[in-house]
Amino acid sequence: MKNRKIPFGYEMQKGKIKISEYEAEILHRIFAEYINGRNLKELAEMLAEQNIEYLPGMSAWNKNRIKRILEDKRYTGDDKYPMIINNQIFTQANTIKAERRTNENCIVNAKNKLIIYTTKCACCGGTMIHKVDKRSKCVEQWLCDNTDCRTRINMTINELKSAITALMNMCINDPSITDKDEDEQELSAEIRLMENDIDRMTEQADIDKSEILNRILECAAKKYEQIKSKAHITQRLKAEFEKSSLLSGFYTDLFEKTVSAIRMNIDGEISLVLKNGKLIEKGETNGNDHSNDTA
């Protein structure tokens, strides 16, 4: 196989290394596309499909070739090679590459994938990505995937499981805390639209009272239906917690039946969103804990 004597992006002119304008343009595309989300494989396939030649007559690209290009510090310029990629772009691309490599080492297996895939950022609602980096002092971290947030929490899977277990034991100890107050109910999109329609109708100059009344009654029926549905879910949740004994460790089956999401706060505190939308936080109580009552 032919090998290049100088890096892609350069050419020899009268015994001196100069920038190849055509190849330099390809390099800028590679760095830009990678930063914008394409991975190594996708970039290699894109260049091959477009018949971009790595060597004269050869347009074969692969992941390793793209990886070497992204990591080649010579593109930022030195005594021998003129600059093609500025330091900011080079650093940004390699920072992203390091993060993607770390993300590929996430501990996702049958035992813990359920909690990994349901953990959300309490700050913005983004998904918290579980990262493992054995080179770091904090081997396990969680990073919000929202680029405008990027909340980062140091916490192991086992620490998260312990926090979840403690919150679920609170529910088992006092199932009444799973009740969701009516004023806490989050209205569905359909109901919100109906309320907006009613507001618009009442603001009109010619008000059709009969039509507005029908719309109000229809909206009320939808609200009742939603509350009734939530109440049914709440009763099922309470029944699950009432029949369960206090947990000595994370119990997947009960978690799956009762919890819809885990919320991770910036201070590392954990809360649970139950299937009925009720938020369970540390210290939650309805004042009905009779565990210390005496006869």
Which residue in 283, 236, 242 sits closest to 260, CA to CA? 236
Mean pLDDT of the chain: 83
Ramachandran sector of residue 251 (left: φ over 0; alpha: ψ -120 to 50; beta: rest): beta
- Locate the domains of the chain by residue range: 10-101, 105-158, 163-280
Give the pLDDT confidence of 264-290 residue by residue, as tens digits: 999 999 999 998 889 999 876 554 443
Spatial neighbors of 46 by CB under 8 A, at least 6 apart, are 33, 38
Longest Cα–Cα distance of the chain, Å, equals 100
When pLDDT is averaged across residues 149-161 and rounded to a whole number, the result is 91
**pTM of the predicted structure, to 2 decimals:** 0.49
CATH of domain 10-101: 3.90.1750.20
- What φ, ψ does residue 144 adopt, rounded to 5°? -65, 135
Q: Which of 44-48, 154-158, 290-294 has the lowest mean pLDDT?
A: 290-294
Give the pLDDT confidence of 85-138 residue by residue, as tens digits: 999 999 999 988 887 765 555 455 556 788 888 999 999 999 999 888 766 677
